[in-house]
Structure 1
Amino acid sequence: MIIKSFEKQLLVSVGSKDISSRLSLDGIPCSHKIFDYSDISDTEYYRSLICHLKEIVTFERGSEAVTVRVEGLDESKCYGFLLSAVWLLKFFIQTNFTGPSVELDDGCLEFLQEVDELKSEMVLDGEDIQENVRHPATLLIVKELLNVVPVEMIPSVTWWKMRCDFLHETILEEKSNVLWPQIKSYEDILRQQLLSTVEDKILGALFCLEMAQMYLFHYEVTTAKDLVSYASTLTGINVSLAGALGKRTKYQQNELAQLIVQVTSVDLSSDDGCSFSLLDGELPRNIPLNDDTRLNKIHLSNATPAESLSPIQQIILLNFYFVRKSFQAQDDVTRTECEAFLTALLDSPQVWVVQFVSLLHRSVLEKSHTRTVERSLEQLEVLKENLKVPSPPLHQRLPFFFTSYMPPWFKVESVLAEIYKSLGSINSALDVYLRLSLWESAIDCYNTLQLRHKAEEIIRKELEKGETVKLWCLLGDATDNTEFYEKAWLLSNGKSSRTQRQWGYFHFHRKQYVEAVEHLEKAVSLNPLEYPAWMRLAFAAMQVENWELCAKAYRHSCILDSDNFESWNNLSNAYLKLGDKLRAMKVLIEATKCDYNIWQVWDNLLVVATDCRAFEEVIRSYERLLDLKDKHTDPEVLGVLTKFICENLEDSKSEGCIKYLKPALKLFGRLTANVTTNGTIWKLYSDLLATQDNFESGVTGAEVLHRSVDCSQKSIRCLMQDPKWDKIADSIKLVVEYSLNVADRTLEFSKKYSDSSSVANFKTTAIFTISRVIASIKKRKSELITETDAYDSHIEELENKLQELKTN
């Protein structure tokens, strides 16, 4: 993919003013008056751009809402259309994401109002545009301008189309099953062009980071992680967590280990396409932590002046943070790791969007802690105002926007409302939610204030202004009346996944799982990108024992989030219920990859692998269980493993199981070092050692069988340590079995290695043990009046074996 220098700068900086004014330096003629703006403000340029668009754009209701007039398309006009599209896209980003606010004259506003009438054309599959989005239909014009430009003439236009579609999807009420496949088709084209040869590492890295944002948006965390890792590889940047001694509080005496992030990289060319002008003192202000105990930042004992991170290092580090945050469970460990990433980013303030997003995420992290919640609140107030002030100008806010996951302005304010809510200021939070028309959150506030009727009133007022699918669904949520879900469904002409999902959730929360399955199944068929809906469908299907649907739902959940071990574990259970043990085992193996430290998953894998005769996996699972629980015992599994090895039965690969003898002996050796009182385990260990003797000779064989006899004696001692063993019929039977095993092992040893000095000791111990058992059984028999035949049989067997020991 051959991208000219100017195109690369346009992609990286999203069209700063100095880029377009240098077009002639790249040998590209630029005769259009609208591109001669080196000495005018952004607002004046927008006016010129809109005047130009009035001349070439017409609007029609119908399938083609926007038409661009094209006459004599040449290279100059192609670049003109591209820059027009980019600048209009900048206008959309400025008004909805980065700020500052734009003031336009009446003529421009009339044009934008005419464009806004096309908002309904942006509705996809019944999913409307979020209410707070400003001038959303400008994206329709951007798309048409980009469609005019031939890919053969300007290859980077595909990238801009992908960006535009993703922005469109982010402003919809729900994820789009129409736009996401289109975005992935653009990805395939760009991946082939950018990553097949990787001629430009910076562009390749930026492409990977942008795609990572999109995959994270769709819950595909593993794919996002791989893309971020590849971006760091392309640029030679290595990000790792490390420990360092330091102090976190003002009165701390001893230095403790603190988590830090280390960033190292190879030197990139100075002309890497990211050498745009950086801010000097105009970044979003980082509010200090004025706490009487905690330091503003961790003080490290061997702190050396850290090198300032370059812009590309910062944006890669920010994306590592996003992946880390999404990849792991939200616990104290993850929180500490996220804090380390954000601290590293805020220590090197350079890029406006990185600073803004880092401060926003730090505020979210700090909102739940008493010592930091005050700063969190103050910081968000500053960020909110920063979107309104004119400084810094737009071209300093835009670089790396598409790799920053920056939320729109109304979501920033909603985070502020969440903090009000966490502080108990429900009314303040409610005011924000009502102003932003965030009705779901407003309903929650009314419920908390025990004013549920107010939620119904306000939604009905909104319905009087105009019926929407979302409002009818919200009315159903507020009143617990399913008739309103039905009205929403009819209004959407059977296309709204939101309606069926909310309807399903209504039944799900009331444990009406049959009804929940019916509606959630419809919801995911309309929009298969909603991960929470798949999870609830899977659980509901499990409750009603619809195992095929349960497996399908959990399988799709695992596709969307392949790092959720619970989904894999439950999918395995569904396969077991369907009788597919082999698939269940493979799924559990995937579950262990998601979280290596959950012993319950390893225990499930141990049992399933045993049923599948996959004994290599059985031994691996048991070894891992001993790592996690050093005294884990499962005699049934160990019994099956021992039987298959001792009898050399076939495993799942139709191969003899004797090949597992050595790893099994190693496992038993480790287990018996920790578990010394389980007679069954000692007996099984004895059997394995006796089997090994058949494959050894000379001194080694004698040693092995010696250990086998020793283990068999330990097994009977463990059973007889129970003072009530001779009072229970099953225990007596087991003691007799183990006693006979002791005698057999002793006789075998005495026959094979009669010259051994241990023979006499083994025989003496065996005779003494069996004599004790016979005496105990006879005593128990004398206490019984009936059912003594079994005891006679036991006594006879033991006395015969005792006589054999004495005569041989």
Structure 2
Amino acid sequence: MSLNVQAVEKALLTGKWNEELDSSSSDAPVLQIARNVVNGDFTDLKTSPSRDLFTVTQSNHDDLDRPLAEWFNFSRVSTAEDELLRLCCAVSCLHAFIQANWTGPELNIKPLEVLALTPELSELVSEDLLHQKAVAELAYGGEPAYHLARFPIFLQLARLLLDTPFQHCLSAPWWQLRTWRIHEQLLDEPVAVPPAVFSDAAHLLETFATEPDIAGRLLLEQGLLEHYVGHDKSAADYFVRAARATHLEYELTGALGKRTKFQERDVTQLILLAESRVRGDGSDPAQSEDVAPGTSSSPTADTKTEPEANSSIAAASTNVSTPAIPETLALNDDTLLEQTAFTSSSASAPQAAAPGSRLGHIDPASQPALHPLDQSILLALCLNVKNTSPANGLTAEQMAPYVARVVSHPRNWSVHTMALLLRSRLESTRTRTVERSVLQLQALVDQMPTADSTVAERLLYIHEILLPSRWEMERELALRYLTLGVVKSALEIFERLEMWEEAVKCWASIERADKGIAVVRDLLEGRKAEADAVILQGKAISDKRRTAIDAAREAKLWCLLGDLEPDHALEHYTRAWEVSKESSGRAMRSLGGYYFARGKYPEAITCLRRAVAINPLLARSWFVLGCACIRVEDWDGAREAFVRCVTIDDEDGESWNNLASVYLRMGEAGKKVALDDGEEESAAQVENAAQIEGAAKERIPFQNKLLAFRALKQGLKFSYDNWRMWNNYMIVALDVGELSEACRALARVVEERAAKDGAASVDEDVLDKLVDAVTRARAGASEEGAADADQTAMQTAGLDRRVEDLFERTILPRVSSPRIFRARARLLTAQGKYGEALNAYLDAYRAGPAGTMEKGETDVEKWREAVGEVEDIVDVLRNFGPRVEGFNWKLQARSVLRTFMGRTKDFEDEPEWARLVALQEEIKKEE
């Protein structure tokens, strides 16, 4: 019987060996190698035929300076068995690297045991040399690889093996996807992934990953890589598709329960109801696992509505033993419960699920355990909540139910570690939980070297979670110490990990910035050596190789020194660029920021364009580039930069605002629009798009205005409290005819500014235009036929109500001015509410110069203006008074004139006084 290659590939991917493969008649050695890899045993790399793959073809000292890819001959034409051997070796190398740096325990093979070297080469090649070459070659996209990663040669070997062509092994693109994610986590900053990584893996859904769990794994892993490089929307889509593929049912809802020990009454608590499908392959949870850690009770028989399904689960799981899991620390708080105590409910009286929910049968107090793959999906969905929500307390409350649902039923060592890590992060900002947060994180760091679970167990779902590397977890612990003020412990960790940038910040926090500068200078000048520099001492290594090895990190140190010494920043940043042989993205970002801060925008643009060409995933570089392009009126460049900003992070409201401003400055097909006012924008944010729009109104294409409107509308979703953006949105909405949106924007501006700025918060020009639109629409409707009038009324009814609410609920309860009252009066007049309109006109008079003028006024110009207002209000009373039943308008008019003339007798000699006397006589005659 021939070797079933696809079955072996699926076993490698899922981490579970198919016993049917052992019963086949194939006696190929690669079958046993594959089985050992699945079981977490990578020692086959030290023996033939695996070791034969790693025969080094170089023969002398100089040849060793060549890239590692030229050391081996992996690309020879091969059979299906040869390809499977290559794949098994690549998986072994990848998992060996992960074991050494992610999961533990200690690795039992060494790189030199894997390579087949001639006696002459054995004298030249050392593990230190392999380490240095691998770290240098793993630098990518201008970002250096972490230099203290253990055995990076294994990751590089895996990459080289997977880059060879595969004709028979369909899963090779999937392993490339996995390798890329591990590689990304090795770099200082995320970098762009080649599009082929995703496209090649996506094809597997139609050919190879057709089973539910395998398809779910692939979609989940694609989503995690998208998440890591910052593509939140795409990641969210992958996570949801993964849940659908595995038939995971979940629902975020509410249920009655208690969160504190002294709580007497149940209140609604947020809960995630979730249920895995029954797989029946021995991986389903047993009934005994339905109990949360730390509890002794078991679910009663009447807590399920599907006894048949549960009995199937139990029958399939009778031989499943409780896995070894990381230590879960108790909260031990005097008020908070260890976990929310939900009120138990029976199937006949569900409390948690919404009507029509497929999860209505689940008792929130005793939910069934989930499959580890489904747990991984929930943790990914939890990450998605963090990605797509603002950074506030609500986000933590939304994420907590996902984590609690996984923590309550430990199924796998790595998955449970990830769940505890996420819980630790969520608890780090709360006073009552911060202690457990730090202690739990310390426990997770300490467990890595232990052997409390098998390698196979730890690797089983490692690709389905975003578990940080060992050094990243220690870095996170040090940062947690910093938030608590434990600076010395944090500094010790950073210096041990040789994370000099964070170490320098620690020195600065204790007002010893000079110490930080000294550390960086000692490193650059050789007085202080890094770990991998120490291991090179006494080695016969060429200057060429040493330069290549140290270039990326040395450039980073020069940039750091430039940050610490602003007076010499330009010199240090330039040196970093030269040292890196023009490959350091950080050096160009630093130079671009340096020039921008000093107003040298052409130079800043040049540097920043180089920086984004090296690493296009950093939104901040694109943002500063866009601001620099605005300063030199390069509208096409600015538009491109801000479009890239919002593509990377669509929640960046500031970039959306600036993109809208750029559209308002652009002419036909990208032609530059010359503005008459010569106004300059601020670097951070263009504050008044209204001025821009007014200055070039006749020359801006309507399409550009519409694009600006859409950009601002999107940005306001994420900058809801930014009144300047609302002000811009109001002006643009008015210009494109979106009057209802302009009304809403004006309301938001008033809500944000009224307390501080009073009546100045109301754009009275916009308010008048909104009222004019309503009054014109009503006037036009009255002149049309019945059918046309009905249609016009339907079109303006919404705006009419919005403008009325704008006055009654937003503006008048907060601010007032004569013009606001007059606009209100015109609206009431159009509605036929003459009495209210008359009162609004009187309010406008009382708030104006005439109504507020006191005795002793000497400003004659102000008095003449007030005379005009008196004449106007008398005309209003004469016109509207007779329409208001029971209103004595003549008495009101005489009172207005008498009061005003009594206060301003000092102006009797002015010619306008005669107009007031004549007006009095007119009113008397009308009586």
Amino acid at match of 1:447: A
2:844 aligned residue (719, 725, 730):
719
1:108 aligned partner: 113
Aligned to 1:643: 772
Query: What is aligned with 1:7?
Result: 9
Cα distance in 1 between the residues matched to 2:462 and 2:53: 30
Q: Which moved more, 1:281-290 or 1:115-124?
A: 115-124
Residue from 577, 582, 594 that aligns with 2:706: 582
Which position in structure 2 is the counterpart of 1:421? 482
Counterpart amino acid of residue 331 in structure 2: L
Name the residue aligned to 2:327: 285
Equivalent residue, structure 1, for 2:799 = 664
Deviation at 1:247, TM superposition (A): 3.4
Q: Which of 435, 444, 464 lines up with 2:505 in the alignment?
A: 444
TM-score (norm 2): 0.72
Kept after mapping to 2: 8 A contact 1:46/1:91: no
Judge conservation of contact 1:592–1:601 (CA < 8 Å) in 2. Answer: yes
CA-CA distance at 1:350 after TM superposition: 1.1
The alignment-based identity, stated in percent, is 24
What stretches of structure 2 of length at least 5 have no aligned partner? 59-65, 117-125, 286-316, 345-363, 527-532, 534-549, 665-688, 694-703, 756-760, 781-790, 854-861
The match for 1:377 among 438, 444, 465 is 438
Alignment of 1:485 with 2:573, yes or no, is yes
Which residue identity is paired with 1:224?
A
Looking at structure 2, the residues matched to 535 and 309 of structure 1 have their Cα atoms a distance apart, in angstroms, of 43
Q: Is the 8 A contact 2:216 2:243 kept in 1?
A: yes
Equivalent-residue separation in structure 1 for 2:739 and 2:775 (angstroms): 13
Deviation per CA, 1:583-628: give whole Å up to 9, x if none. Answer: 3211111123446676765454223211333224335556888999
State the shift of 1:270 in Å.
3.7
Conserved in 2, the CA contact under 8 Å of 1:568 and 1:587?
yes
Aligned twin of 1:166 = 181
**Matched AA of 2:585:** S
Most deviating of 516-525 and 352-361: 516-525
> Partner of 1:653 in structure 2?
none
How far did 1:486 drift? 1.4
Residue 300 (str. 1) matches residue 339 (str. 2)? no
> Structure 1 residues 201 and 744, CA, compared in 2 at 3 Å: closer, same or farther?
farther
Contact preservation (8 Å) 2:275, 2:368: no
Other structure's SS at 2:152 match: coil
Contact 1:132 1:436 in 2 (8 A): yes
Q: Which amino acid aligns with 1:783?
A: D
Q: What is the match of residue 157 of structure 2?
A: 141
Q: Specify the alignment match of 1:226 in structure 2.
A: 237
Preserved CA contact (<8 Å) 2:93 2:158: yes
Shift of 1:524: 2.5
Is contact 1:241–1:261 with CA below 8 Å preserved after alignment? yes
Range with greater deviation from structure 2 (555-564 or 361-370) = 361-370
Give the stretch that moved more between structures: 509-518 or 768-777. Answer: 509-518
Counterpart residue type for residue 708 of structure 2: A
Contact 2:142 2:583 in 1 (8 A): yes
Counterpart in the other structure of 2:293: none
Structure 1 counterpart of 2:505, which letter? D
**Distance change in 2, residues 1:766/1:509 (3 Å):** same
Q: 1:782 to 1:312 in 2, by over 3 A?
A: same
Contact 2:170–2:208 (8 Å) recurs in 1: no
* Aligned residues of 2:93 and 2:154 also touching (Cα < 8 A): yes
Which of residues 559, 563, 568 in structure 1 aligns to 2:647?
559
**Which amino acid in 2 is paired with 1:644?**
A
The answer to whether the 8 Å contact 1:215/1:224 transfers is yes
Match of 2:382 among 321, 330, 340: 321
- The Cα shift of 1:398 comes to 1.7
Contact 1:575 1:583 in 2 (8 A): yes
**Counterpart AA for 1:713:** L
CA distance in 1, matches of 2:111, 2:748: 71
Structure 1 583/107 Cα, relative in aligned 2: closer, same or farther at 3 Å?
closer
**Separation (CA, whole Å) in 1 of partners of 2:749 and 2:424:** 39
**How far off its partner does 1:717 sit?**
3.0
- Assess if the C-alpha contact under 8 Å between 2:326 and 2:444 holds in 1: yes
Aligned to 2:253: 242
Quote the Cα distance in structure 2 between the aligned partners of 1:723 and 1:127.
Answer: 65
Query: Which residue does the alignment assign to 1:32?
Result: 30
Q: Cα–Cα, structure 1 residues 602 and 34, in superposed 2: closer, same or farther, change >3 Å?
A: same
What is the distance in 1 between the residues matched to 2:572 and 2:906?
A: 76
Partner of residue 269, structure 2: 258
Counterpart Cα distance in 2 of 1:422 and 1:643: 56
Tell me whether 532-541 or 321-330 shows the greater mean CA deviation.
Answer: 532-541
Whether 1:401 aligns to 2:526 is no
Query: Alpha-carbon deviations, 1:417-450, whole Å to 9, x = none?
Result: 1223233222221111111110111111122233
Task: Determine the C-alpha separation between the residues in 2 that align with 1:532 and 1:95.
Answer: 34
Contact residue 261 and residue 340 of structure 1 kept, 8 A: yes
Contact kept, 8 Å, 1:460 with 1:475, in 2: the verdict is yes
Contact residue 736 and residue 798 of structure 1 kept, 8 A: no
Code of the residue aligned with 2:513 in structure 1: it is R
Deviation at 1:246, TM superposition (A): 3.5
Deviating more after overlay: 550-559 vs 60-69: 60-69
Aligned-pair CA distance for 1:471: 2.1
Q: What is the rounded CA distance, in whole Å, between the counterparts of 2:594 and 2:458 in structure 1?
A: 43
Structure 1: distance between partners of 2:82 and 2:7: 18
SS at the partner of 1:127? coil
For residues 554-596 of structure 1, the C-alpha deviation after alignment (integer angstroms, 9 at most, x for no partner) is 3322111102334323433454456454332111111234466
SS for the counterpart of 2:200 is helix
Q: In the alignment, which residue of structure 2 is the partner of 1:389? A: 450
One-letter amino acid of the structure 2 residue matched with residue 288 of structure 1: A
In structure 1, C-alpha distance between the alignment counterparts of 2:585 and 2:37, rounded to whole Å? 50
Greater Cα shift, 84-93 or 51-60: 51-60
1:207 aligns with 2:218: yes
- RMSD, aligned α-carbons: 4.2
CA 1:676–1:594 in structure 2 vs 1: closer, same or farther (change >3 Å)?
A: closer
Correspondence for 1:784: 907
- Give the total of aligned pairs: 762
Q: Which secondary structure does the structure 2 equivalent of 1:67 belong to?
A: coil
TM-aligned CA distance change 1:9 to 1:773, over 3 Å: farther
1:99 Cα shift?
Answer: 1.3
Equivalent of 2:81 in 76, 88, 91: 76
Query: Scaled by the length of structure 1, what TM-score is found?
Result: 0.82
* Gap runs ≥5 in structure 1: 651-655, 692-703, 750-757
Structure 1 position 607 matched with structure 2 position 735: no
> Which segment is superposed worse, 355-364 or 429-438?
355-364
Distance, in Å, in 1 between the alignment partners of 2:909 and 2:27 is: 112
Deviations 1:242-271 (A, max 9, x none): 334443333445545433323256x35445
Is the Cα–Cα contact under 8 Å of residues 456 and 478 in structure 1 kept in the other structure? yes
Residues 526 and 146 from structure 1, CA distance in 2 versus in 1: closer, same or farther, beyond 3 angstroms?
A: closer
Match of 1:124 among 140, 143, 152: 140
How much does 1:784 deviate? 2.0
Preserved contact between residue 51 and residue 108 of structure 1 (Cα < 8 Å): no
- CA distance in structure 2 between the aligned counterparts of 1:688 and 1:196, rounded to whole angstroms: 66
Letter in 1 for 2:160: E
Task: Write the deviation string for residues 291-330 of structure 1: whole angstroms up to 9, x where unpaired.
Answer: 3333322333446212212223211210111111222232
| CA deviation after TM superposition for structure 1 residue 378, in Å | 2.2
State the SS of the aligned residue for 1:295: strand
Where does 1:454-493 land on structure 2 (aligned, <5 Å)?
454-463=515-524, 464=526, 465=533, 468-480=554-566, 481-482=568-569, 483-493=571-581
Shift of 1:498: 0.8
Q: 1:627 to 1:452 in 2, by over 3 A?
A: closer
C-alpha contact (below 8 Å) 2:740/2:799 kept by paired residues:
no
